[in-house]
Amino acid sequence: MEAINLVCIVCPLGCRLTVTKENGEYKIEGNKCPRGDKYAVKELTNPTRTITSTVKIKGGILNRLPVKTSDEIPKGMIKECMEAINNVEVTAPVKVGDVLIKNVLDTGVDIVASRSME
């Protein structure tokens, strides 16, 4: 396997990682903590992301309500997830943590309010 360069996004350090695969094992260099090892392997085998966005809200003090995924979803599903989020409109009041979309795209992950709004 040719060396792959990544920037770790787990913490603010932003370590520059070099990943190679030898005898079925990943070799990670450049990380300053063990979280870089886990991130690099996950990024190469099953990349996931937390999504943050907004949805329309009626009767709120603002016209958009911030939302996020309750956990990470596969990176390849971001576009579909955003389409689902963009089709949602809620009515105030909403409390932080309220589930707005249960089990989005059958991922087991919910879309939740990340702010309360009266």
17-61 tens-digit pLDDT: 999 998 889 999 999 999 999 999 999 999 999 999 999 999 999
Quickly tell me which residue has 């309220």 as its tokens. 98
Mean pLDDT (whole number) for 88-92: 97
Residue type at 41 in one-letter notation: V
Task: Supply the pLDDT for residue 62.
Answer: 96
Phi, psi values for residue 5, rounded to 5°: -105, 135
Task: Supply the pLDDT for residue 57.
Answer: 98
Token pair recorded at residue 38: 């886990």
The average confidence (pLDDT) of the chain is: 96
80 exposure class (CB count in 10 Å sphere: 0-12, 13-18, 19+): middle
Query: Which residues is 69 bridged to in the sheet?
Result: 111
Q: Which domains does the chain have, with CATH numbers?
A: 4-45 (no CATH), 52-113 (3.10.530.10)
Asked if residues 3 and 27 have their Cβ atoms less than 8 Å apart, the reply is: no
Asked if residues 40 and 26 have their Cβ atoms less than 8 Å apart, the reply is: yes
Quickly tell me which residue has 């063990």 as its tokens. 34
- Torsion-angle region of residue 83: left (phi > 0), alpha (psi -120 to 50) or beta? alpha
Task: Supply the pLDDT for residue 67.
Answer: 98
Residue type at 25 in one-letter notation: E
